[in-house]
Copies of this chain bind each other. A is one copy, B any other.
């Protein structure tokens, strides 16, 4: 993977408050590591920042970077989570990935880290 360095951040302008940030990316595409065929899905990032917020254009570039990458649904969901945790150190974060059908099967993966603070 190793693309974590593409993620840029800016200082959370209001760290004294627990507020929710959601980014929805319906144009995610990667490649199935087994068949070499493209996969298509929606990535939903939902977090409560501590000291850092992810910069949106860098998040776009980071996600685009998986375009030719062969990786399982379960793995990419956790890698996204790990990379965002590593860069942002949020108070709480959740990643949901929803995939278009393959072989008649459609999948949804949901992972989170941290305990969500009260708003």
Which of A's residues lie within 8 Å of B, judged by CB?
Answer: 10, 12-14, 17, 19-27, 29, 32, 34-35, 37-38, 40, 49, 53, 55-57, 59-60, 64, 67-68, 72-75, 77-79, 81-82, 100-113, 119
Contact = CB atoms under 8 A, between A and B. Distances in A.
A104 B35 CA distance: 14
Closest 8 CB pairs of A and B: A19-B111, A14-B78, A22-B108, A27-B104, A60-B103, A13-B75, A20-B110, A27-B40
Given A21-B109, A67-B38, A10 B104 contact: no
A21 B64 CA distance: 23
A107 B74 CA distance: 24
Given A26-B104, A107-B24, A111-B14, A34 B19 contact: no
Nearest to A94: B119
Nearest to A58: B34
B13 A103 contact: no
